Structure 1
Amino acid sequence: MRSQLFAPVFLAAAWFSTLPAQAESYHFTPSLQQSFTTIVIFQNQQGTLYGSDTLSAKTLTQLARAANAAEFRGKQGQLLELLAPNDISADRIILVGLGDKKLTSGEVNELGGALAQRLAELPSQDIGILVESMPEGEHFAAQFAHGIELQSYRFTRYRDVELKPKHYHFAIDDAAIASRYHSQLQAVESGVFLARDMTNATAGDMYPGSFATEAQKLRKLGVKVEILDRRKLQALNMGALLGVGQGSEREPLLVVAQWQGSDDAPIALVGKGITFDSGGYNIKATGTTIVRMKSDMAGAATVLGTIKAMAVQQAPINVVGVMPLAENMVSDRALRPGDVVMTAEGKSVEVTNTDAEGRLILADGLWYARTIYQPQMMVDVATLTGSKVRALGYEYTGLFSDHPQLIEQLSYSGQEVGEKLWRLPLDKVYADELKSDIADMKNTGRTAGASVAAMFLHTFVGETPWAHLDIAGNALTSTGNQLAPIGATGHGVRLLSHWLTEFQTYPQADTAAR
C-alpha cells in the first residue's frame, strides 16, 4: 500500500507568482505519490468519504472507528485530527466535515482557512489533500486553496516574524482545470493582499502621496494611472475634497486607476480614502476609536485592490477606480463646524460636523467618475458611518441602492464569496434632514446616520445606476477569523471581483443561473 500510494516519484506541480507572505506552494496532481506529514480527507454528513478509493479497506475501517469514537459526523466545518494508521506514510490525518448541502465558494474558503489555522499550530510542512471523485472537485480544490492563502497572509512590515512555508499537494481528477481556477483566484488574492498591506500600514507611511505611489506601481500591469494634485483639483472646483484636506500639510489628491480590458463603457468604483481621520474639530472622542483611523482609507484600498485583481487576470472588462484622498486633521487651516464648501457638482454644503468628512470627498469623487467617464454604473465603497456598525455589526456590509439589478447582483456575489450584504433604507425622508438654512444642503442629519449619509451621496450620482457599500466594521478584525489574521481584511475586493467577472463580463446573465 505504501509503495503504491506514496512512492517518492516526480510530482507535476503548478507554481504561482502571487503568493501569501509565507510563500506557500500549491500542487495539483492526479494522485499523491510521496510522503506527507499530514493527509487531509473530506467527509459529508451522509458519510461519503472523498478520496477513499486510494485508501485500503483496513485504513477506512480504522478511520471510521476513530471518527465514531470522537463523534465526528461530517458537519460543515467540523475538524478531527487523528494519528495516521501504519499503512499510510504520514504523521496525522485531518478529517474535514462538508455538511449536508452544496457549499458556496465562501464556505469552501472558510474550510480552507480553518485548516490553515489548525496547521499553523503544527509542525506540518508537506500536506496531502485528497479531492478525487468529489463533484466539481477542481473548483473545490482551488477555492479550498484560496481560503488557505487568505488565512496565511501576514503583515511583516514593522516586525520580524518567523514564517514557516507549507507545501500543499492536491490529489485531483483534472489538475489542469484546478490549476487554472486557482490562478484566477490568486489574481484576486493579489488585490486582497494589496488592500490589506495598505490598510495595515501606519498613517505616517500611508498618506495621499504614498497611496498614489502604490497606485502608480500598477502601471507595469497595464493599468492607466492619473494623479490629480491640488492645482488640478482647484481647476475642477473640488471644494469638498480640498476642504477636508486643507488642515493637513499633506495635500489632498484624486487618484484614478483604469483597467481597460474592453471597449465597453466603463464601470466606475469610487473609494473613500481618508488616510487618517482625527475627526477634525469634531475630534474622535476616545483613543480606542482614533487609533483605528489609519483604516479610514480602506474603501480606496479596496478599489485599488480590485483594479489590480482585474489587471493580473487580464479580465475582459473596462473598470475605472476613482479614489479621493485626504488627511482629516486639526490645525489653524482646518475646516470649522459651520463652514460652507462648494462641491464640483455646484452644490454648497454646510459642514455641521467635521467628522462626517468621508461623504464630502466622495461627493467630488462620484461627480468626477460620473462626468469624466460616463460609466454604465457606479459602486462606491467606504468606511462611512458608525451607525452602520450599530445596525449590522461586523458580519454584514450595508448596501444602499435604488437599482434592482445592482442590488440583486451585488447581494448574490456577497453571498457567494462570504462578504454578505444587507440592504438598508434609501429614502427621500432622510434627505429632508440634510436641508440647510445657509447652503444647498448640510452634511449631517439627526436620526439614521447610515441612511442619511447614503442620501447625501445619492445627490451626486445623477441618473447613473449606483450602489453604496458601507464597510465600516468590516475593514478590520480585532480577533482574526478563518480568512484573515488580526488587522486589515481587504474586505470588498473578493465581492467586487466576483461581481465584475461573473456579471459584468456577461451583462445579460441571469442571476439565478449564476
Structure 2
Amino acid sequence: MFRLTTIAALLLASTAASAEQFTVKTNSTVAANADTLVLLVSPENLNANPQLEAISKQENFTAGHGKTLTWLAPASPYSQYQRVVLLGTGDTAKLTPYQASLLGATTARTLKGSAASTIQVDATLLNLPFSQAEFLAQVSHGIDLASYTFSRYHTDKKAETVRTVHLLSAEQSATEQRLVQLNALSEGVKLARDLTNEPGNGIYPETFAKQALELRKLGAKVTVMDEKALEKAGLGAILAVGRGSARPPRMVIVHWEGNKQQPLAIVGKGVTFDTGGYNLKTQGDSILRMTSDMAGAAAVLGTMHALAKQKAPVNVVGFMPLAENMISDRAYLPGDVIRAGNGKTIEIISTDAEGRLLLADALWYAETNFKPRAIVDIATLTGSKVGAVGSYYAGLFSNDDNLLGQINQAADKVQEKVWRLPLTDEMLPELKSRIADLRNTGSTTGASTAALFLTQFVKDTPFAHLDIAGNALSSSNKGLHTEGATGFGVRLLTEWTLTAE
C-alpha cells in the first residue's frame, strides 16, 4: 500500500488514507535501489525496440491505454529491477492530463499486493503532447488517489508498507512545482473522502467544525457559527433542520484570501446524517447511505484545503451549513412554517427536503455578507437527479451562460462530468404555498424545482447549483475512485476557482 509520509495527520488521526512518498529524479539519475520499473510505452515504442517488441508479441501486449504487462526477472538493460511493468499509453497524440492520471491509477492497482517497495516511473520513451512535468505530476496524482483506503475502524489492520515513487524527469523544477499543486489537490480530495466515509457517530456538526479549524494552520480564516450566532443572524432554516438533534447545527465559513479580487463563494450541503425527519426514510439501504449526505460540505472543505495548501492566488470563501436531521419532540414537522435568513417564509411539505433549507440560508448569508462575484453550491440534493442522469454526471443548473461555460470547462478538464438540467421560472407555481411565501418541495420536477427553490435566496449574483446525488459514493474501484466516498467536486471546484474569470 502506498503512503505519502509528508502529509500532516488529519484531526481524525486514526483514519488511514494511503498515499505516496514522491521524489523527483533527473534523466541522468536512476534510483539505485529501485526494485520496480514502471515503463510507459506507446505502440510506436514497441515497434522501435526489438526487445520490447519481442516480449509484447509473446504476451499479446499492444500498449493500449491503461493496459499492462508485468515482466518478472527482466533481462538487460532492465536486469537491475525485480520487475518491469510495461504500462501502455495508447496513441500519445491523444493523451490528456486526465488520461495521465488514469495511468497513475492503473499503476497503483497493478502494484497493489506486490512486493514492490521502491518504484521508478519512466516516461522518457514517450513523445508527449504536453509537458513531461505535467504528465508525471498527473501520473503521481492518479497513483495517490487510487491508493486511498479508509481503515480507521479496522482493528485487525496490518502495518502499512511505505512505497517510494521516483519520477524520472528531464524537467525537475517544473515537475516539483506541479507536484506541490497536485499533492495539495490530492489532500483535499482525500480529506473530503475521509469526512464522507465517517459514520454518523464520527462526523456531526461539532466534529466537522473541529476539522475545519485545522485549516487555520494553513493560513485560512475559519469562522464557526454556533446556535447563538445562527439565531443572531436570523438563519431560521438551518436552525429548523437541526432542531431535532441533541447535536446542534453549525455553519462553518472558511476564507482563503490569496488575492484582493472580489471573492468567489462555494456552498456545500452538510447534513451529517439524514433520517428524513418525520417524513422518515423507510428503505434500509437508503437510510444507510445517509452518512454521506454531507458530501457537498466535505467537497467544499476539501477544496478550501487544496487552495490553502498550495497558497493559490485566489480569493474564495467556502460556506458549510451543518445539521443532523433527526426525529424528536423538538424536531420540525410537516406543515410547519419557518422563516429563512432573507425573511421569506417556507411551508414544510416534507422534512426530508431539508438540504435545500440549509443551502437557502447559507446562499443568502454568502451573498449578503461577502458580495461574491459568483456563487456555486454543491449538494447531494435529490433522488430525481439520479433518475435523470444517474451517477454518470452531476446535475448542473444555472441561467448564467458565462458561469455555465466556466463550470463546463473545469468539469471537462478534470473529468468530473456535469450535465445541464432545466431551470425555468415556469416551474415556480409548483413552489407556491397557500399559507407561506414558498413550499420546500414541488410536485413533479424534483431536481429542477429544488434548484429553482435555491434561486429564491440569491438575488443579483451569478449562481449555479451542482446536484451530486449519486456521485458522492462509488460501489467499486474505478478510475481515480476507490470504493466508498469519491470526494467528487473537489477537483472540479478547485479547477473552477483557479480559472474563473
Q: TM-score scaled by structure 2?
A: 0.92
What are the equivalent positions in structure 2 for 1:194-205 lying under 5 Å apart?
194-205=191-202
Between the aligned partners of 2:61 and 2:261, the Cα distance in structure 1 is 52
Q: Is the 8 A contact 2:256 2:304 kept in 1?
A: yes
Between the aligned partners of 1:391 and 1:373, the Cα distance in structure 2 is 34
**Counterpart position of 2:23:** 27
Between the aligned partners of 1:192 and 1:355, the Cα distance in structure 2 is 28
Q: Is the 8 A contact 1:350 1:436 kept in 2?
A: yes
What are the equivalent positions in structure 2 for 1:210-289 lying under 5 Å apart?
210-289=207-286
Between the aligned partners of 1:213 and 1:158, the Cα distance in structure 2 is 20
* Structure 2, unpaired ranges of 5+: 10-15
**Cα displacement (A) at 1:69:** 3.0
**Counterpart position of 2:67:** 78
Identify which range, 108-117 or 479-488, moves more after superposition.
479-488
**Cα displacement (A) at 1:272:** 0.4
**Cα displacement (A) at 1:35:** 4.4
SS in 1 for 2:321: strand
Which amino acid letter does the alignment assign opposite residue 271 of structure 2? I
**Counterpart position of 1:206:** 203
**Counterpart position of 2:123:** 131
Q: Is the 8 A contact 1:477 1:485 kept in 2?
A: yes
What are the equivalent positions in structure 2 for 1:82-101 lying under 5 Å apart?
82-87=71-76, 88=78, 89-100=80-91, 101=93
**Cα displacement (A) at 1:480:** 2.5
SS in 2 for 1:109: helix
The reply to whether residue 438 of structure 1 matches residue 435 of structure 2 is: yes
Distance 1:283 1:320, change over 3 A: same
Distance 1:412 1:103, change over 3 A: farther
**Cα displacement (A) at 1:207:** 0.7
Indicate which of 60, 67, 71 corresponds to 2:56.
Answer: 67
**Counterpart position of 1:112:** 104
Between the aligned partners of 1:104 and 1:248, the Cα distance in structure 2 is 47
Q: Is the 8 A contact 1:270 1:380 kept in 2?
A: yes
**Cα displacement (A) at 1:305:** 1.1
SS in 1 for 2:294: helix
Q: Deviations over 1:133-160 (max 9, x none)?
A: 6431111000000000011122232124
**Counterpart position of 1:40:** 38
Between the aligned partners of 2:372 and 2:207, the Cα distance in structure 1 is 27
SS in 2 for 1:371: helix
**Cα displacement (A) at 1:73:** 2.1
Q: Is the 8 A contact 1:18 1:190 kept in 2?
A: no
Q: Deviations over 1:96-140 (max 9, x none)?
A: 222224333222111111110111031111212111264311110
Identity of aligned residues (%): 46
**Counterpart position of 2:12:** none
Indicate which of 292, 295, 310 corresponds to 2:289.
Answer: 292
Which amino acid letter does the alignment assign opposite residue 166 of structure 2? H
Between the aligned partners of 1:105 and 1:407, the Cα distance in structure 2 is 22
SS in 2 for 1:66: helix
SS in 1 for 2:397: strand
Which amino acid letter does the alignment assign opposite residue 212 of structure 1? A
What are the equivalent positions in structure 2 for 1:9-28 lying under 5 Å apart?
16-17=6-7, 21-28=17-24
Indicate which of 126, 141, 149 corresponds to 1:146.
Answer: 141
**Cα displacement (A) at 1:347:** 0.9
The reply to whether residue 336 of structure 1 matches residue 325 of structure 2 is: no
Identify which range, 63-72 or 273-282, moves more after superposition.
63-72
Between the aligned partners of 2:219 and 2:388, the Cα distance in structure 1 is 40
Which amino acid letter does the alignment assign opposite residue 100 of structure 2? V
Identify which range, 395-404 or 26-35, moves more after superposition.
26-35
The reply to whether residue 352 of structure 1 matches residue 343 of structure 2 is: no
Between the aligned partners of 2:380 and 2:458, the Cα distance in structure 1 is 19
**Cα displacement (A) at 1:33:** 4.4
Between the aligned partners of 1:343 and 1:22, the Cα distance in structure 2 is 42
Q: Is the 8 A contact 2:19 2:147 kept in 1?
A: no
**Cα displacement (A) at 1:263:** 1.1
Q: Is the 8 A contact 1:272 1:324 kept in 2?
A: yes
Q: Deviations over 1:232-261 (max 9, x none)?
A: 212222111111111111111111110111
Q: Deviations over 1:46-89 (max 9, x none)?
A: x236xx9xxxx9xx323212212333222222222223532121
Between the aligned partners of 1:48 and 1:462, the Cα distance in structure 2 is 57
Between the aligned partners of 2:408 and 2:73, the Cα distance in structure 1 is 43
Between the aligned partners of 2:445 and 2:342, the Cα distance in structure 1 is 25
SS in 2 for 1:48: helix
| Root-mean-square deviation (Å) | 1.9
Q: Is the 8 A contact 1:338 1:350 kept in 2?
A: yes
Distance 1:310 1:230, change over 3 A: same
Between the aligned partners of 1:131 and 1:44, the Cα distance in structure 2 is 10
Between the aligned partners of 2:489 and 2:132, the Cα distance in structure 1 is 26
Identify which range, 66-75 or 232-241, moves more after superposition.
66-75
Between the aligned partners of 1:104 and 1:356, the Cα distance in structure 2 is 40
Which amino acid letter does the alignment assign opposite residue 148 of structure 2? Y
SS in 1 for 2:293: helix
SS in 2 for 1:485: coil
**Counterpart position of 2:188:** 191
Q: Is the 8 A contact 1:29 1:174 kept in 2?
A: no
Which amino acid letter does the alignment assign opposite residue 273 of structure 2? F
Q: Is the 8 A contact 1:208 1:325 kept in 2?
A: yes
Name the count of aligned residue pairs: 482
Q: Is the 8 A contact 1:133 1:173 kept in 2?
A: no
* Structure 1, unpaired ranges of 5+: 1-13, 508-514
Between the aligned partners of 1:108 and 1:318, the Cα distance in structure 2 is 29
Which amino acid letter does the alignment assign opposite residue 97 of structure 1? G
**Counterpart position of 1:482:** 479
Q: Is the 8 A contact 1:117 1:482 kept in 2?
A: no
Between the aligned partners of 1:416 and 1:104, the Cα distance in structure 2 is 9
Q: Deviations over 1:364-409 (max 9, x none)?
A: 0000000000101000010111111111111211111111121111
Q: Is the 8 A contact 1:104 1:417 kept in 2?
A: no
